[in-house]
Chain A
């Protein structure tokens, strides 16, 4: 069984015909040749496939492409503005927030989405006072980024990178 869908990926519109069983992740990787979203576990247990779906971070491996018809997808490749890296990307380089690089695009999309969530005042499991806007300290960043596993153990660099880049990502001051 097949379906015709459209996806806007990193600003580019694509029309494609997919098996209803095809996940958004496989549609991106196998049909559109996108290399930024990675397949690490294919079961929502590692975060490597994280993309921004209509602006929110989501796992492309558990979303059927047919259900994602007409969505806007931003991958790590689309975070950069042409040759200019996104502040998070530059901070990941500066703080060595990766080693093998396989979880990295997912970490970056997750971080971008997470900073927006924090900017909207969303709490996390690390937030002690649910009634106040959260302060995005290292403990908050760690909890909010825990859906992205890094087997190389680059977590300290990831946290430092996000903490450093947060002021440069358009996230309002009060939420940090």
Chain B
């Protein structure tokens, strides 16, 4: 770590202005990801603007039924909140499947969205990485890629976004509110994170000094029938190999509407629009679920070490859809 100044911001606007004014400044939320990266030498801020004392720690229901989550709401408080547990269970499940109890007590909603990739080369300053040092090359392309992207990657970066929470929020049509030095704006969560393209150093569309102040979940009947399924290498306390957030609105045996987002597969929470399109208005059958999962993964471009994730994503998505549509035993026949 290099030495840095530390300030506590008094208002969101002041925080945004303070960071915007210093090219090497960063917001400090819970710090569970930023401090980690600072120790590794991956992040080298010269000024930390602590935003945890701002009045952004409430979960409130707006008159139109929207649930607004302050950016400083800790992951554990969000997961445990009755509104979330009842109306947006996939979000509770996603949060609870991430990290550990201790980390969830510290990590914030805004910080969770802005955590950076766990690519081992990004975290290792002795190896090239375009995300950490633009133009230096991508070590992962020919390297260790178990946790890397199948969808939407580029020749410059194959990293994945590690958040579980963001995947669920993407499926729940969340909107992010942002305080910038010039005012406020709203960004659909699905548009917050970028694909790597030629500039993998930019994870999101935010500019330097943009502060996430809240995430809003629109009212949604189908969200109450939602689920987050995470597949990982350890039973707990591990990042996703593949995850699926699904919300389903069933009319008898037909799917009147649905939302799907996938995790562990791309540089951003992957909204599975193709699969949604295949399924919307159609029958809720296993054949359809499998076909839709197949269609979504048709664009997968696996690397040497993660080809299995194409199959895994297909089966995970299809089985999550099945379980949500008709909970109960599904495997009568043998393989």
Q: Answer whether A and B touch in the complex at a CB cut-off of 8 Å.
A: yes
Binding site for B on A (CB under 8 A): 1, 3, 19-21, 23, 42-44, 47, 50, 56-59, 62-64, 66-67, 110, 113-114, 117, 120-125, 127, 130-131, 142-144, 146-148
**When the two chains form their complex, are residues A120 and B80 in contact, meaning their CB atoms are under 8 A apart?**
yes
With beta carbons under 8 angstroms apart, the residue of A67, A130, A148 that contacts B50 is A67
Binary flags per residue of B1-44, CB closer than 8 Å to A gives 1, else 0: 10111100000000000000000000010111001101110000
Complex Cα distance, B30 from A29, in Å, reads 21
B32 touches A146 (CB 8 A): no
Minimum Cβ distance to chain A for residue B125 (Å): 14
Chain A residue, CB-CB nearest to B2:
A21
Inter-chain CA distance A1–B1, complex, in Å, is 12
Beta-carbon contact of A114 and B101 below 8 Å: yes
| A64–B40 CA distance with the chains assembled, in angstroms | 15
Q: How far is the CB of A3 from chain B (nearest CB, A)?
A: 6
- What would 20 more interface pairs be, CB under 8 Å, given A62-B103, A125-B96? A1-B3, A1-B4, A1-B6, A20-B4, A20-B5, A20-B48, A21-B38, A23-B35, A42-B39, A43-B39, A44-B32, A58-B102, A58-B106, A62-B36, A124-B101, A130-B86, A130-B92, A130-B93, A146-B235, A146-B237
Cβ of B36 and Cβ of A117 under 8 Å apart?
Answer: no
B136 interfacial by beta-carbon distance below 8 Å: no
A43 to B237: give the CA distance in the assembly, Å.
Answer: 13
Tell me which of B30, B97, B102 has the highest count of chain A C-beta atoms within 10 A of its own C-beta. Answer: B102
Residues of A within 8 A of B36 (CB): 43-44, 62
How far, in whole Å, are A123 and B235 apart by their CA atoms in the complex?
17
Which 3 A-B residue pairs are closest in the complex by CB-CB distance?
A147-B100, A146-B236, A122-B80
Across the interface, do B76 and A117 meet the contact criterion of CB distance under 8 Å?
Answer: yes
The residue among A3, A43, A121 with the most chain B CB atoms within 10 A of its own CB is A43
B66 adjacent to chain A (CB < 8 Å)? no
| Contact, CB under 8 Å: A3 / B102 | no
Q: Which residue in B28, B40, B99, B105 is a CB contact (below 8 Å) of A57?
A: B105
Binding site for A on B (CB under 8 A): 1, 3-6, 28, 30-32, 35-36, 38-40, 48, 50, 52, 76, 79-80, 85-86, 89, 92-93, 96-97, 99-103, 105-106, 235-237
Question: Which of A63, A122, A144 is packed against the most chain B CB atoms within 10 Å?
Answer: A122
Q: Given A3-B6, A20-B6, A147-B237, A63 and B96 touching (CB < 8 A)? A: no
* Cα A43 to Cα B103 with chains together (Å): 11
> When chains A and B are docked, how far (Å) is the Cα of A44 from the Cα of B123?
14
Q: List 29 A-B contacts (CB under 8 A).
A: A1-B3, A1-B4, A1-B6, A20-B3, A20-B5, A21-B38, A43-B40, A44-B102, A47-B102, A57-B102, A57-B105, A58-B106, A59-B102, A62-B32, A62-B103, A63-B106, A64-B48, A66-B6, A67-B28, A113-B101, A114-B101, A125-B93, A125-B236, A130-B85, A143-B236, A146-B235, A146-B237, A147-B99, A148-B100
Is B96 in contact with A123, judged by CB distance below 8 angstroms?
yes
Known: A131-B86, A147-B101. A122 touches B28 (CB 8 A): no
Q: For B85, what are the chain A residues with a Cβ–Cβ distance below 8 Å?
A: 123, 130-131
Contact of B79 among A64, A123, A142 (CB under 8 A): A123
Q: Which residues of A contact B38 (CB under 8 A)?
A: 21
A149 to chain B, nearest CB (A): 8
